[in-house]
Amino acid sequence: MPTDAVPADVVPADVVPTDAGLTDAVSRPGGVLQVRDLDVHYGLGRRRRQALHGVSLQVEPGETVGVIGETGSGKSTFARTVLGLVPSSGGRIVIAGEDVTRYSHRQWRTLRRRGVVQYVFQDPLRSLDPDLTILESLIEPLLLQGAPRGGAGRRARALLRRVHLEEELLERRPGELSGGQRQRVALARALITEPALIILDEPVSALDSANRVQILQILKELRNSGVALIFISHDLGSVAGVADRIAVIYQGELVEVGPTRDVLAEPAHAYTRLLIGSVPMLRSAPADRTERDALRALLHA
């Protein structure tokens, strides 16, 4: 039961959430993505709400960063802002050395069409045209860039193998595929432009455990191929085995970022600690109930 008094030994004072968003500690040059002090607001006038407060994150080439947060935390807003689908109201976004902060709709569309940054959402039915065959969907991004059809088709076949799908699926339509197959097609489609960065927003949340394991395995294989990944999820367990670093977004702020191992072994922020302490375990002793209650009280204070 939540208590008003939080025992001092349970939650050190330095993990108390503060108004100042945490900054991605080390400032490094370059990177495929540099986000600095990003603010995003939704709505107008009295309904105006701030969705992101000063979020800073840098992603290096080939790196996989897991972005963890609950529903409404702002993690999907972060993804959409980086893709130019939601305007920012402050801060700076640099993609592959290009400052895109003040880009117009048209510039964003050109950038997305170049395929430097790609994305995969939770529901592949939304990102795959139901009227196109899988082959047509896969090569579409290349055709938009003016690539010849034959070469694009060869590349599509190669990518299909990379996501462990049979070539015979190429002539089918999304509706004839299972959810897991569709998500693998969406991944292949994202890979076809040889992007520097793919943003995956809850890519395995809608899948059953067998398909989930398969997609996570493919993501792990991608780690060594040079493409950087931002893996957004509410599920720490899915991200843990794939991400080099984990960033935690809570109530619109980046409250914690670090190597996966450190964040999971020694979570600093109360939200991260509660998240880890809430995961049902089979063999490890369940996390201490008293600590969970103290963390809940702290977060709701």
Partner 1 sequence: MTTVSEDSARRGAVSEPVAPGSGPPVVLAVRDLRVHDRVSDREIVHGISFELTPGKVVGIVGESGSGKTLTCRAALGILPEHFVVSGGSITITGHDVAGLTPAQWTELRGSTISAVFQDPASYLNPSIRVGAQIAEVVRVKQGFSRRVARRRALDLLAAVQLRNPALVYEQYTYELSGGMLQRVLIAAAVAAEPTVLIADEATTSLDVIVQAEILDLLADLRDRAGLALLVVSHDLAVVAQICDEVLVMRRGDVVEHGSTAEVLRRPRHEYTRLLIAEHEQYGLEAYLDATTPQHQEPNHARQESNHAH
Interface ranges with partner 1 (CB under 8 A)? 1-2, 70-71, 209, 212-213, 216, 234-238, 240-241, 260-261, 264-265, 274-284, 286, 289, 292-293, 296, 300
Q: How far is the CB of 143 from partner 1 (least distance, A)?
A: 36
Q: How far is the CB of 22 from partner 1 (least distance, A)?
A: 20
Site of tokens 């993609």: 95
Radius of gyration of the chain measured on its C-alpha atoms: 20
Spatial separation of the C-alpha atoms in residues 88 and 9, rounded to whole Å: 39
Site of tokens 């069409």: 113
Closer CB to partner 1, 82 or 204, in the complex? 204
Closer CB to partner 1, 70 or 176, in the complex? 70
Q: How far is the CB of 168 from partner 1 (least distance, A)?
A: 26
DSSP-assigned states of every residue in 117-183: EEEE-S-HHHHS-TTS-HHHHHHHHHHHTT--HHHHHHHHHHHHHHTT--GGGGGS-GGGS-HHHHH
Closer CB to partner 1, 139 or 216, in the complex? 216
* Residues 154-191 as b or e (16 or more Cβ within 10 Å = b): ebbeebbebbebeeebbeebbeebeebbbbbbbbbbbb
Closer CB to partner 1, 96 or 257, in the complex? 257
Nearest Cα neighbor of 77 from 20, 107, 38 is 38
Closer CB to partner 1, 37 or 235, in the complex? 235
Q: Which amino acid is at 95?
A: I
Q: How far is the CB of 112 from partner 1 (least distance, A)?
A: 30
Retrieve residue 16's tokens: 């108390």
Q: How far is the CB of 202 from partner 1 (least distance, A)?
A: 12
Q: How far is the CB of 271 from partner 1 (least distance, A)?
A: 9
Closer CB to partner 1, 232 or 236, in the complex? 236
Q: How far is the CB of 178 from partner 1 (least distance, A)?
A: 17
Closer CB to partner 1, 140 or 291, in the complex? 291
Q: Strands 64-68, 90-95: parallel, antiparallel or unpaired by DSSP?
A: unpaired
| Cα–Cα–Cα angle for 156, 158, 159, rounded to 5 degrees | 65
Q: How many CB atoms lie within 10 A of CB 258?
A: 18
